[in-house]
Chains A and B, each alone.
Chain A
Amino acid sequence: MPTVSMTVNGKSVSAEVEPRTLLVQYLREHLGLTGTHVGCDTSQCGACVVHVNGESLKSCTMLAGQAEGADVTTIEGLANGDDLHPMQEAFRENHGLQCGFCTPGMVMSALDLVKQNPDPSEKEVREWLEGNLCRCTGYHNIVKSILAGAEALRG
């Protein structure tokens, strides 16, 4: 089996995997990083969004082998020790989740948004989330969380 190596959350990692291994499986099953969730595995739901070389993408529709040499950030890479990342803290403060299944993808998508648009309007946040499904919250508190997180990140 081929060896696939990349940097995940700042650490160099390497694993022997079958060519058909999806990036999300590599993260979850080979590295034990189960914060990235699998909802639909057909790029509909956004639960598996991670950052690859700084861009958000769905890790269920990319092969681990395609991320060879890439710099990957998952939800586990955001907090600083026990201190939540400001976007994570905003989700906690604003009750931006209920069951929490979609939350890692929501947070990772939100961070790609604020990178491109540090001060998004509510409408822009709602439009941005079109690739992330939540079946609990009705999105309202997720939008509130992202607006608060964006404000915190602006300082």
Chain B
Amino acid sequence: MKPAPFAYVRAETLDQVFDLLDEYGDEAKILAGGQSLMATLNMRLSTPEVLIDINHLEGLSDISSDGDVLRIGALARHSDVLESEHVQKHAPLIAKTMPHVAHQAIRNRGTFGGSVAFADPAAELPAVTRALGAIFVLQGRDGQRKVAADDFFQGLFETDLKENELLVGAEIPAIKDGERTAFMELARRHGDYAIVGLAVQGRLEGDTFADMRLGFFGAGDQPILAKSAIAALNGQPNNEGTIKNAQDALDADLDPMPDLNGPAEMKMHLARVLTKRALAELAA
């Protein structure tokens, strides 16, 4: 047997989920697509007492839009997000991102909410949701609360999600006329976790940057909104000097960790290179 023993419950209702979370606390783990959780269980990095399988909860897989807001249910599979016309139309940045999220056999199973709630700093979707200013819907026994992506991600695999809450969906502001997007990542193999990557959305008014949002992954202990680089871009003309200023500002925004791919300074260098390329793509 690979994983340590646990009890398994196929939850049919939200109340059942909250009962189990109240009873087991941090000895309970929510099982959605399982594409990160099962691997950590197989390696015995995690040994929960009970797995609460939420795959059969109803109404959490929908992807819909009212024109202003795109709603992605927590249980929407990556493959469904990839193919969704709502996503292509209202969140092209997510549409550009999805082909980089793992590969088909994993996308068929992994979920949007699972990726967000797991909050891997090297994963694409947490950073993209920050770049888009997404709002997450957290369900507790007594109701829902909404938390902006900027406040949701708090550290290495740490989020604002409380022990007795479940992430049930994301609300993403639909792209507006004139907003442009770019997505770039460097990975050893396509579909692997990126060494470093970024997602950008913003506008060019004439040749002046406006409303820029740059979300980085693989560049620190959490998905990062590059506030200094954004400040260096907004209101400035799209020229070499501005790009250089934005690249230099990344020193204040990013704090990459050295790993098997290389030292932190190499990742900083790659982040600066990707920023220049992504801004060129955005402007193209």
Contact = CB atoms under 8 A, between A and B. Distances in A.
B38 interface: yes
Interface stretch (B3-11, B126-134, B198-206): B3-11
Contacts of A71: none
Interface string B102-143: 111110110000000000000000000000000000000000
A68 B8 CA distance: 13
Interface residues of A, number: 30
A121 B158 CA distance: 42
A60 interface: yes
Interface in B141-195: 189-191
Interface residues of B, number: 31
Interface in A110-139: 112-113, 127-128, 130-131
Contacts of B38: 22, 43, 60-63
A68 B9 CA distance: 12
B191 A131 contact: yes
B35 interface: yes
A60 B2 CA distance: 10
Contacts of B104: 56, 109, 112-113, 128, 131
Given A21-B1, A42-B42, A127-B190, A58 B6 contact: no
Nearest to A29: B1
Interface in B1-35: 1-8, 10, 31, 34-35
A65 B79 CA distance: 22
A124 to B, nearest CB: 11
A122 B262 CA distance: 32
B109 A130 contact: no
B34 A62 contact: yes
B191 A43 contact: no
Contacts of A128: 103-104
B3 A20 contact: yes
Interface in A47-93: 49, 55-58, 60-63, 65-66, 68
Contacts of B10: 65-66, 68
Contact of A66 (B2, B55, B189): B55
B53 interface: yes
Interface string B225-264: 0000000000000000000000000000000000000000
A61 B1 contact: no
Contacts of B5: 18-20
Contact of B39 (A20, A49, A61, A112): A61
A66 B39 contact: no
A131 B1 contact: no
Given A41-B2, A41-B42, A112-B104, A19 B8 contact: yes
B218 to A, nearest CB: 18
Nearest to B50: A19
A66 B79 CA distance: 19
Nearest to A42: B39
A46 interface: yes
A36 interface: no
A109 B105 contact: yes
A131 B34 contact: no
A57 B105 contact: yes
Sorted nearest first, the 5 A-B pairs with minimum C-beta distance are: A131-B103, A19-B8, A61-B38, A42-B39, A130-B191
28 contacts: A18-B1, A19-B6, A19-B8, A20-B41, A25-B2, A41-B39, A41-B42, A42-B42, A42-B43, A49-B105, A56-B104, A57-B109, A58-B109, A61-B35, A61-B109, A62-B34, A62-B38, A63-B51, A63-B53, A65-B10, A65-B53, A66-B31, A112-B104, A112-B105, A113-B104, A131-B103, A131-B105, A131-B106
